[in-house]
A and B are shown apart, each in its own frame.
Chain A
Amino acid sequence: MKNKILPFLVIIIFGIIFFIFYKGLEDSKIYTPDVNTKKVIPVFNTKEFFSEENVKSSSIFELDKIYLLNIWSSWCVPCRQEHPFLMNLNLDNKLNIIGMNYKDNLKNAENFLKELGNPYKEIFIDLDGTIAIEWGAYGVPESFLIYNNEIIKKYIGPLNQELVDEINLLIK
C-alpha cells in the first residue's frame, strides 16, 4: 500500500511544481502596467514654465475638453524622436496638448522648444519629479489622454505614427 502511494504523490507534487514554473517561463518578466484604467487626475500645485507663476492643476484641466498631457525633458533622447508627432497632433484643434517639463534645466528646455517647435498649449514644471509620481508615471516620455478629468489612456514611451493614429481615432 505504502509503496504504491508514495511514488504517485511525488510525481503529482513534481508535476504541479513543474507546471507552475513552466507557466512562469512563458510570462513576461518585464512588468507592463495597466494602461486602460480610468482614473481621476491628481490635484497638484506647480509653476508655469515661461512665467514661473504658481498654477493649480484645476485651472489647467477643464471639463469637456480633451487633453494630452505629455511628460518631456530636454535631456531625454526619445522625447526628441516623438516631438514631430506632437507637432503633428497639435494641428488638430480638438486636442489640447499640455506639457510637463520633467527634472529639467529650464534654459535647456527653452532651447529644445526653440529648436524643435512648441506644440504645447501650456507647460508646467515638475522640478523634483514628484508630480509625475502623483500621476503614476514611470519616466520620460509618457503621455496621458484626458477627458472630463479622467485618464482615458496612458502611453508609456515615445509616441509613434501608430499611436498618433490611435489618438486621432479616439478623439473623434
Chain B
Amino acid sequence: MKFLRFFVIVILLFPLNSLNAGENDKRNKITKNLRCLICQGQSVYDSDSEFANSLKIVVDKKLQEGLSEDQIYEYFKTKYGEWILYDPGLNKNTYILWLLPILIFLIGGAIIYKSFIIKK
C-alpha cells in the first residue's frame, strides 16, 4: 500500500519536470511558430537556411533584451507581415479560416438536432 502511494506521487510529479522551461525552450517554441520565408513549408526551427539561422540569432537577442513572446511576434509581424506567423490572428483576410469550422459545426449540429427532434 505504501509503495502504491509512493508510486502515485512519483507519477504525479513527473510531468512537473517540464515546468522548468528555460530560455532555450522558449526560443524553440517561438521559432517553431515562425515560418521560414525562404524555405516555405518549414518552420524557422526546422530550417538550417541562412535566413532561418539569422532569425534564430535575432530571437535570442530579443529574449535577452527581455521582450515577451508576443512582443517578438509583433516585431516580426511589422518586419515581414502576418505570413511569418504560423498562428494567424483574426482579420479581414483570415475570417473565413476562423469562422468556417464554427459555421460547419453549427450547421451540422442543426441537422443532427433536427433529425433527432423529428425522430422523437
A residues engaging B (CB < 8 A)?
A: 2, 6, 9, 13, 20, 29-31, 33-34, 103, 128-130, 132-134, 136, 138-139
Contacts and interface: CB of A to CB of B under 8 A. Distances in A.
B53 A129 contact: yes
A130 B54 contact: yes
Interface stretch (B5-13, B23-31, B111-119): B111-119
A39 B8 CA distance: 58
Interface in B27-85: 37-38, 40, 50-51, 53-55, 57-58, 61, 79-81, 83
Interface string B87-120: 0000000001000100010010001001100100
A138 B58 contact: no
A132 B54 CA distance: 9
Interface of B: 37-38, 40, 50-51, 53-55, 57-58, 61, 79-81, 83, 96, 100, 104, 107, 111, 114-115, 118
B118 A128 contact: no
B51 A6 contact: no
B100 A2 contact: no
Given A13-B104, A128-B54, A136 B79 contact: yes
Contacts of B51: 129, 138-139
Nearest to B61: A130
B40 A129 contact: no
A133 B52 CA distance: 10
A130 B57 CA distance: 7
B114 to A, nearest CB: 7
18 contacts: A2-B114, A9-B107, A13-B107, A31-B37, A33-B37, A33-B80, A34-B81, A128-B57, A129-B51, A129-B53, A129-B57, A130-B58, A133-B54, A134-B79, A136-B79, A138-B51, A139-B38, A139-B50
Nearest to A1: B118
A33 to B, nearest CB: 6
A2 B119 CA distance: 11
B48 to A, nearest CB: 13
B40 A30 contact: yes
A133 B50 contact: no
